[in-house]
Each structure stands twice: as C-alpha cells, then as structure tokens.
Structure 1
Amino acid sequence: MLRNLPQILSPALLYALRAMGHGDRIVIADANYPAESSGPECIRLDGITATDVLAAILQVMPLDTFVAAPAQTMQVVGDPDAVPDIVAEFQTLIDETADNPAQISTLERHAFYEEASSAFAVVQTGEQRIYGNIILTKGIIAP
C-alpha cells in the first residue's frame, strides 16, 4: 500500500503514468471502446467509471500547458456540437482537480481513434455512458 494515492490507480496504471514523459498521451476509454485492438497497451479497470479514473489520474498527473488541447473527447456522430453529460462531467473534474485546468476540445470519431492509436496507453474502464472517452496529454511538474 502507498499513502496519498487514489486506490483505483492499479500498479499497471501507476507504472504507465510514471513512465510517460512530457507530451505523452493516455486514453481513458468507456466499456464500448475498442481498447484491446487500438494499438497502445491496454490497462483494464473494469467496473470503474471513466469519471472516477479521470479524477484519480488528475490527482497525480499534470496536464500539458504547451499544447492547445491537452484534453480531447470524441464528437457525437451526427451532432458534433452536442456535449454529452459525461463530457460536461469531465470538464467539471478538469476545472476542479487539474493543476492546469484546460477547456476540453473535441475530435471527429475517426480522428479520435487515430490520435488514440499513438497514445502511451489506453485505460479500459467499465464506463457505460457512451462517449465516455478522453485523451489526456501529460505536462511537466515545474521545479
């Protein structure tokens, strides 16, 4: 056991977060996302919501301040301006938890898959709300 770490951060996820460098990306994916076949290492957190995982990751990982979009979600197919409830919840968590809050930007579905395919890892959650996917870019911790 370790102190001051969210308990849902598994050993594999902690390793990935620590091994990531500035500019590396991690995907938090819902239960419908094709995580195992998307390319990057898949870290499974079945039964845990994407919002709980986002909150835990933001407690230990800074968002990048050198890129325009350190948090990206998938646009709703057929309605790119829609903001699903889970995306609004992601934004609230970023605003309240991130050391460098940022506005979420969106990507068209296939563009999201393309960006996610080059991420450091994909965290497959048990999230059942659709569009519960987010890409985070890791920043730095200033001296």
Structure 2
Amino acid sequence: MLINIDPLLSPDLLHVLRAMGHGDEIAIVDANFPGTTNARRLVRLDGISVTEATRAILTVLPLDDFVDVPVFTMEVVGSPEEVPPAVAELRALVGERGACGTLERHAFYARARDCFAIVQTGETRLYGNIILKKGVVRS
C-alpha cells in the first residue's frame, strides 16, 4: 500500500503511468472497446467505470498544456453532436484541466492503437471512451 495513492491505481497501471513520457497518450475505454486487439499495453480494470478510472488516473497524471486539445472522446456514430451520459461525465471531470475534443469512431480506434497503453474498464455505458495526453510533471 502507498500513502495518498487512489486504490483503483493498480500496480500495473501505476507502472504504465510512471513509464509514460510527456506527450504520450493513454486511452481509458469501455467494456465494448476492442482493447486486446488494439493495445500495445493493456491494463484491465474490470468492474470499474470509465469515470472512476479517469478520476483516479488524473490524480497522478497531468494533462499536456502545450497542446490545444489534450483530451478526446469518441463521437456517436451517425450523431456526432450527441453527448452520451458517459461522455458528459468525462467532460465534467476533465473540466478546466484542458480542452476536450471528439474523434469519429474509426479515428478514435486508430489513435488508441497509437497510445502508450489502453486501460479497459468495466464501463457498460456506450461511448465511455477517452484519450488523455500526458503533460510535463513540474516540481
């Protein structure tokens, strides 16, 4: 156990987050996402929602403030302006930390394939997917 570390941050996930460098990206995805197919490194957080996982990750991961948009969610197929409940929660969670953009489904998949790692959650709500770009850790 560690002091002041969210218990949702497993040893494997902490290792991934620590190994990431500035500009690396991590995808936190729902249970329907083809994580095993697309991941360079896959960390599973079964039974955890995407918002719980993202909240925990953001306690230790700064967002990149050198880019205009350090966060992306997936657009609804056929209705890109629609904001599903999971996406609304993720946007609220990110808040003022950085701008949140959207990506078309296949563009999101392609970007997730290039991510340093994918965290597969147990999220059952559709479109519960987000990509975060790591920023600089300043002392």
Q: TM-score range by the shorter chain?
A: over 0.9
Count of matched residue positions in the alignment of Structure 1 and Structure 2: 139
Shift of 1:92: 1.2
Root-mean-square deviation (CA, aligned residues, Å) is 0.9
Equivalent residue number for residue 30 of structure 2? 30
Q: Are 2:122 and 1:126 aligned?
A: yes
Matched residues in 2 for 1:60 and 1:142: separation? 12
Q: Residue in 2 aligned with 1:79?
A: 79
Q: Distance in 1 between matches of 2:41 and 2:4?
A: 26
What does 1:1-143 align with in structure 2 at a 5 Å threshold?
Answer: 1-95=1-95, 101-143=97-139
- Unmatched tracts of structure 2, length 5 or more: none
Hey, what's the Cα distance between the residues in 2 that align with 1:128 and 1:39? 19
* CA displacement 1:30-69 (0-9 Å, x = unmatched): 0000000003211001001100000000111000011122
- Secondary structure of 1:80 counterpart: coil
TM-score (norm 2): 0.97
Which residue identity does 1:128 align to in structure 2? T
Distance 1:120 1:141 in 2: 17
Per-residue deviation, residues 69-105 of structure 1 (Å, max 9, x unmatched): 211011000001111111110111112xxxx611210
Structure 1 ranges of 4+ moved more than 2 A? none
2:68–2:99 CA contact under 8 A, matched in 1: no
Q: Counterpart of 2:76 in structure 1: which amino acid?
A: V
TM-score (normalizing by structure 1): 0.94
